């Protein structure tokens, strides 16, 4: 193979193998670049390459990742160096700050994306973009308008097998906007986990309803799952009101026919906090499993599963703890021939549960929640919100789990990741002292790395 000695700007020279054989599919090069030459280096990236962007030479005027195509075993990675401040990508108001276009098997990691509130999305995808990993990004400066988005796939032909993990999006117009308003640009089989999205003007996250997908070679099969887990979604500050008010999170229906009509959202282990606009913390339709979440709204409703662009179909709402001012869990307008079940929840609200098919729940008023859990009137900012059951509370006979057992990821784990023994109502599976993380406006820690990371540090944040 030809051997090339490449020098990248003022950075170190590296020895590169530039010709790949059939036996060696990954180049495995580790390259470096700075603001003066990064565009030229990106254009040369091969499957298996890692490009480390310097953080010591000033900001990067946008980042365009067009046509890069790694492979399943040889991803292309662009990232900031571990243990150092993130490289800063800045917007100019004329375009999106980071633009993906027909990009596949690419990872973006440890970057700060600052739109400077000039307009343009933080990160936007076009074309056919699949097998994308967005990890440990800090996205801000995208709050000039409610239509400005932190992460958007609204211009794709389709986006599938995305992993959006350990990111912080603050004060965006909309945090994540996955799909498009007309039902095109389907977002398929994604994993959205351990993110913090807070103080957005509109949605923290919206995944749009989907039209029939047509021919998408290589796309996931019917019956796939999109997983939304262990995130923190908060709209305590900065939210629009009136006709522009939005829920924290909304998920739309899957295709009504063809491939994807049997897809499901698995939404679990999340902390939903505050919406003072009369909108709920979560709204959805289609096929949804919503479980082991903490849902706390001191100013309005909790969970609405109801018609939006279509209707609820297969719905399972189980083992959630909900504290809300008006309605707690409402499931209405479901399609005939499908089941909408509400099982094993602990709900404290003026109207705790409105659902035709409910069983094995504990309900009471918001004021009486203090008789069941440790500190339902605490706040995330004070670090004293604690919905862990008091000793001997929220327990009873074994819950009938036949409608959801073994059907969903981690279906038998509680909010802390502990085994759920089926006698406890709500998101936890024991009582007394809470051995896990108390909900705050920070990224929820993983079970394997229990140290949470606060949001107020745009440089040097650790991946959990």
How would you write the pLDDT of the chain (464 residues) with one tens digit per residue?
333 333 333 333 333 333 444 335 899 999 999 999 999 999 999 999 999 999 999 999 999 999 999 999 999 999 999 999 999 999 999 999 999 999 999 999 999 999 999 999 999 999 999 999 999 999 999 999 999 999 999 999 999 999 999 999 999 999 999 999 999 999 999 999 999 999 999 999 999 999 999 999 999 999 999 999 999 999 999 999 999 999 999 999 999 999 999 999 999 999 999 999 999 999 999 999 999 999 999 999 999 999 999 999 999 999 999 999 999 999 999 999 999 999 999 999 999 999 999 999 999 999 999 999 999 999 999 999 999 999 999 999 999 999 999 999 999 999 999 999 899 999 999 999 999 999 999 999 987 555 544 443 333 332 22
pLDDT value, residue 448? 59
Q: Which long-range contacts (CB under 8 A, 24 or more apart) does 451-460 make?
A: 455/168, 455/170, 455/196, 455/198, 458/86, 458/112, 458/138, 458/140, 459/85, 459/86, 459/112, 460/83, 460/84, 460/85, 460/86
pLDDT value, residue 450? 55
Distance of CA 180 to the CA centre of its chain: 17
CA-CA distance, 233 to 96, in Å (whole number)? 24
How many other CB atoms are there within 10 angstroms of residue 218's CB atom?
Answer: 11
Is 14 exposed, middle or buried, given 0-12, 13-18 or 19+ CB atoms closer than 10 A? middle
Helix (H), strand (E) at residue 375: strand 373-375
pLDDT value, residue 302? 98
What residues contact 318, with CB distance under 8 A and at least 6 apart?
289, 290, 291, 341, 342, 343, 344, 345, 401, 404
β-sheet bridge partners, residue 196:
168, 232
pLDDT value, residue 464? 25
The 3-state DSSP class for residue 242 equals helix
Q: Are 85 and 55 in contact (CB under 8 A)?
A: yes
β-sheet bridge partners, residue 80:
53
Instruction: Give the pairing type, strands 358-359 and 362-364.
Output: unpaired
CA-nearest of 303, 194, 285, 210 to 248 is: 303
Q: What is the pTM of this model?
A: 0.93
């Amino acid at each position: 193979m030809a051997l090339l000695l490449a020098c990248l700007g003022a950075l170190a020279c590296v020895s590169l193998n530039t010709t790949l054989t059939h036996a060696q599919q990954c180049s495995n090069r580790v390259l470096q670049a700075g603001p003066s030459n990064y565009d030229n280096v990106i254009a040369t990236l091969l499957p298996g390459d890692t490009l480390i962007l310097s953080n010591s030479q000033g900001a990067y005027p946008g980042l365009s990742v067009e046509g890069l195509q790694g492979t399943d075993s040889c991803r292309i990675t662009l990232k900031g160096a571990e243990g150092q401040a993130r490289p800063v990508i800045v917007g100019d108001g004329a375009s999106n700050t980071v633009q993906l276009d027909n990009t596949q098997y690419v990872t973006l990691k440890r970057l700060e994306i600052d739109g400077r509130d000039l307009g343009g999305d933080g990160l936007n995808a076009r074309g056919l973009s699949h097998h994308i990993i967005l990890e440990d990004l800090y996205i801000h400066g995208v709050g000039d308008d409610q239509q400005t988005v932190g992460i958007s796939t609204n211009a794709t032909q389709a986006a599938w097998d995305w992993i959006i993990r350990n990111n912080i999006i603050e004060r965006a117009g909309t945090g994540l906007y996955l799909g498009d308003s007309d039902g095109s640009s389907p977002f398929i089989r994604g994993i959205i986990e351990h993110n913090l999205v807070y103080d957005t003007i509109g949605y923290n996250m919206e995944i749009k309803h989907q039209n029939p997908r047509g021919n998408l070679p290589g796309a996931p099969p019917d019956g796939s799952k999109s997983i939304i887990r262990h995130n923190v979604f908060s709209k305590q500050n900065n939210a629009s009101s009136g006709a522009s008010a939005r829920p924290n999170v909304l998920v739309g229906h899957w295709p009504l026919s063809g491939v994807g009509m049997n897809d499901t959202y698995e939404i679990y282990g999340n902390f939903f906090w505050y919406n003072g606009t009369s909108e709920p913390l979560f709204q959805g339709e289609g096929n949804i499993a919503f479980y082991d979440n903490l849902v706390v709204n001191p100013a309005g409703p909790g969970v609405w599963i109801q018609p939006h662009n279509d209707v609820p179909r297969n719905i399972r709402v189980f083992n959630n703890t909900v504290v809300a001012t008006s309605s707690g869990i409402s499931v209405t307008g479901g399609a005939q021939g499908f089941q909408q079940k509400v099982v094993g929840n602990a709900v404290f609200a003026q109207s705790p549960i409105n659902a035709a098919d409910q069983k094995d729940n504990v309900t009471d008023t918001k004021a009486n929640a203090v008789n069941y859990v440790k500190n339902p009137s605490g706040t995330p900012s004070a670090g004293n919100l604690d919905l862990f059951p008091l000793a001997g509370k929220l327990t009873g006979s074994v819950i009938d789990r036949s409608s959801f057992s073994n059907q969903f990821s981690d279906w038998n784990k509680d909010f802390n990741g502990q085994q759920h023994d089926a006698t406890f109502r709500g998101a936890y599976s024991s009582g007394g002292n809470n051995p896990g993380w108390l909900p705050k406006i920070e990224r929820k820690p993983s079970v394997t790395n229990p140290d949470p990371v606060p949001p107020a540090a745009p440089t040097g944040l650790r991946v959990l």
